[in-house]
Amino acid sequence: MTLPATAIAANLAEVRERIAVVARAAGRAPESVTLVAVSKGHGTEAVQAALACGQRVFGENRVQEAEAKWTPLREIRTDLDLHLIGPLQTNKTADALQLFDTIETLDRARLVDRLHTDRDRLGTAARTRALFVQVNTGEEPQKAGVAPGAADAFIADARARLGLEIAGLMCIPPLDEEPAPHFALLAKIAARNGISGLSMGMSADYETAVAFGATHVRIGTAIFGAR
């Protein structure tokens, strides 16, 4: 179900305003929070409506869906910033590197190794500039991400062995828990590792996330409606 462009415009304006209010209340500049509009499950029409409102940063969780949707748009727009926010399989790393500006879901050594090798091999064809490590703050078995206790070593390995710059950390708190302690934990891991990017907060909890220092909020439903 795709909302009319006017509804998407109104939703975007409301989300931006709410982010700004919470950011200011926390003593932060509203511009210090990047709104990643999550367009997974929605088509080109919905994306065009957001583009018409000046939105340029988008999130997708599947490489193939993103390729089909964004390759034509890339040809007419050079100012997009696409984030991969879903799990990445090692056989899709080359595709992901050519499509996404930011990959938020580094979570295992084998994936980091593949990204490193493929980035070298692709050279200038690789578009990805920023890598985030996903942390499974709730230690949920079904969820991707590095365990909080393993995060420091994982980050150190990616940096030291491969010379990769880690721009941020990302988390998805458990559905049935207060998100605040998870956001606080992610912020703590980032701070002790000298990492400035914090991708946390979705439609239901982005205001809390901004209060806890989110630099990126990933919002789908509150902008585009139900999937």
What is the DSSP track for 79-126?
--EEEE-S---GGGHHHHHHH-SEEEEE-SHHHHHHHHHHHHHHGGG-
Nearer to ligand PLP, 23 or 214 (CB): 214
Give the residue, chosen from 86, 145, 179, 213, that forms a contact with ligand PLP under the rule CB under 6 A: 86
The answer to whether residue 38 forms part of the interface with ligand PLP (CB under 6 A) is yes
Is residue 62 a contact residue for ligand PLP (CB under 6 A)? no
N residues, the chain:
227
Is 39 or 93 the residue whose CB approaches ligand PLP more closely?
39
What is the per-residue burial (b if ≥16 Cβ within 10 Å, else e) of 49-71? Answer: bbbebebebbbbbbbebbbebbe
Which C-beta is closer to ligand PLP: that of 44 or that of 221?
221
Is residue 172 a contact point for ligand PLP (CB under 6 A)? yes
Q: Is the distance from CB of 136 to CB of 124 less than 8 angstroms?
A: no
Instruction: Find the binder of ligand PLP among 40, 56, 62, 127 (CB under 6 A).
Output: 40
Please report, as ranges, the residues that interact with ligand PLP according to CB under 6 A.
38, 40, 61, 85-86, 172, 202-203, 218-222
